[in-house]
Amino acid sequence: MTVGIVGLGLIGGSLAKAYREAGHVVYGYDTDSKISDFAVLDGTLSEILSDDNVKECALVLLCIYPEAAVSYLKAASAHISKDTVVVDCCGTKKYVCGECFPLARKYGYTFVGGHPMAGTQYSGYKFSSAGLFKGSCMILVPPVFDDMAFVDRVKDLLLPAGFGRFSITTAEKHDEIIAFTSQLAHVVSNAYVKSPTAKEHRGFSAGSYKDLTRVAWLNEDMWTELCMANRENLVKELDSMINALGMYRDALDRQDSERLRELFAEGKKIKTEIDGTKMTGS
């Protein structure tokens, strides 16, 4: 199989390496030609992806920001084969799918929204790895939901990346949930380290600090675009978080130990229920 990768950062570079390691032919492109050229030199890419060879690809993966993904497809659609499946790997789906489903229908190829649930706090090709997606979940937003043969075909095309499971959803539901599971976490982590006390944390921090601050080190351009594209859902999650934090603050301000204990117990119970874990300790 020949696979085209647009964007050779952490996600695109890792996908390119995974498909190459699985024995497939990989064409790739990055706006930074030095990265594309290096990927050819290190054996990850067989060729630079272009309008001339994109028609050879059974699968094209768009591993760039949402607006760039839409712009690429608008420019490249006329060159893509009707047998090709195009999957984006962007962090929001409503905008991308809303723009790309009509393009695919117009030109005759197939577009599927996608979001690989894997990554690190680092970005760039130099941090990419063939094993990044091993066992992880790939979210898919297909153009139709009643064609299981088609969904199975897409899964087969994506399996060489190493995904362990797939979740099928709508663009709207994806963006609603991802506002909580990803975008809110990045905002909270980024805001948390703005405390003046953070500068004095060395020698006083352990696992909880590291867990909460890992994603504070982020790509500000990418996360600005993702959060703005999903701002309505993210604002709802922020309002919920601010309201919850206010309850803890009020209990502390009133020196209400019982209320604070209730809040802690409530959060612990909810965590247990949503993760399906057994409560231990007090």
Range of lowest pLDDT (19-23, 180-184, 203-207, 218-222): 203-207
Q: Which pLDDT value is given to residue 225?
A: 95
Read off φ and ψ for residue 13, nearest 5 degrees: -65, -40
Phi and psi dihedrals of 131, rounded to 5?
Answer: -95, 10
Token code pair at residue 146: 């009643």
pLDDT score recorded for residue 258? 98
- Per mean pLDDT, which range of 70-74, 86-90, 147-151, 233-237 is the poorest? 147-151
Locate the domains of the chain by residue range: 2-169, 174-275
Q: Is the pLDDT of residue 281 over 60?
A: no
- State the pLDDT at residue 277: 61
2-169, CATH topology level = Rossmann fold (3.40.50)
Quickly tell me which residue has 């976490």 as its tokens. 185
Angle between helix axes 257-275 and 231-253 (nearest 10 degrees) is 140
pLDDT of 232 strictly over 60: yes
Please report which confidence band the pLDDT of residue 206 belongs to, taking 50, 70 and 90 as the band edges. confident
Rounded average pLDDT over 153-181: 96
Return d(Cα 41, Cα 35) in angstroms, integer.
10
Residue 278 is predicted with a pLDDT of 57
What pLDDT does 209 receive? 87
| pLDDT exceeds 50 at position 127 | yes
pTM: 0.88
Question: What pLDDT sits at residue 282?
Answer: 36
Q: What is the mean pLDDT of the chain?
A: 94
For the segment 232-239, the average pLDDT, to the nearest whole number, is 98
Q: What is the DSSP string of the chain?
A: -EEEEE--SHHHHHHHHHHHHTT-EEEEE-SSHHHHHHHHHTTS-SEE--TTTGGG-SEEEE-S-HHHHHHHHHHHGGGS-TT-EEEE--S--HHHHHHHHHHHHHHS-EEEEEEE----S--SGGG--TTTTTT-EEEEE-S-SS-HHHHHHHHHHHGGGT--EEEE--HHHHHHHHIIIIIHHHHHHHHHTTSGGGGG-TTT--HHHHHHHGGGS--HHHHHHHHHHTHHHHHHHHHHHHHHHHHHHHHHHTT-HHHHHHHHHHHHHHHHHHHTPPP---
Q: What homologous superfamily does CATH list for 174-275?
A: 6-phosphogluconate dehydrogenase C-terminal like domain (1.10.3660.10)
* Mean pLDDT score, 212-217: 90
174-275 matches 2-169 in CATH topology: no
